[in-house]
Each structure stands twice: as C-alpha cells, then as structure tokens.
C-alpha cells in the first residue's frame, strides 16, 4: 500500500488531517484516531508507526494510516 509511504504533508494535501492508529497485535486490534497536527509535513506516516504503544494491550508498534472522513457534501440525491 503506497499510503503507508507518504508524508504527513502529502496526506494533508490529499484531504485527511487525522490519522487512524491500529494495534499491530491482531488479537487486540485496538484503534484510535489522532490529530496529525503534532508532526511536521516532512514526517513519513511509516516513521510514526514504531513510536506508538497500544493503550489497550501495551504492544509496541502500530499501523498508521490516513483517516478519510466521510464527504460532507450537502444535499441528498
């Protein structure tokens, strides 16, 4: 997945400003949404992955991906 290689700057250019962080332990699968504002544009999303520790099970390392918000276009078709 090319997504994992992009920088936060590239992510923000394509829309998302938040990140979804998943525990790498599939038995746990805890996930949390965080704000990407804490990191500058040149940081790669994949560089963040080793920095997280799961708050549910204590596993070090996470899968991080952009959080695509549902489009908020007004009218019902």
Q: Which C-beta is closer to Zn ion: that of 22 or that of 39? A: 22
Binding interface with Zn ion (CB under 5 A) = 23, 25, 28, 30, 54, 56-57, 59
Pick from 69, 52, 61, 65: nearest CA to 1: 65
DSSP 27: T
CB of 62 to Zn ion, least distance (A): 8
CB of 57 to Zn ion, least distance (A): 3
Q: Is the CB of residue 67 less than 8 Å from the CB of residue 11? A: no
Q: Which C-beta is closer to Zn ion: that of 11 or that of 65? A: 65
The torsion region of residue 26 among left (phi > 0), alpha (psi -120 to 50) and beta comes to: alpha
CB of 56 to Zn ion, least distance (A): 4
């Amino acid at each position: 997945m090319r997504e994992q290689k992009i920088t936060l700057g590239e992510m923000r250019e394509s829309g998302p400003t938040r990140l979804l962080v998943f525990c790498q332990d599939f038995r746990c699968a805890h996930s949390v949404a965080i704000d990407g504002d804490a990191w500058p544009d040149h940081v790669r999303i994949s560089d963040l992955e080793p920095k997280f520790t799961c708050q549910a099970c204590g596993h070090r390392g996470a899968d991080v991906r952009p959080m695509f918000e549902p489009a908020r276009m007004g009218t019902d078709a």
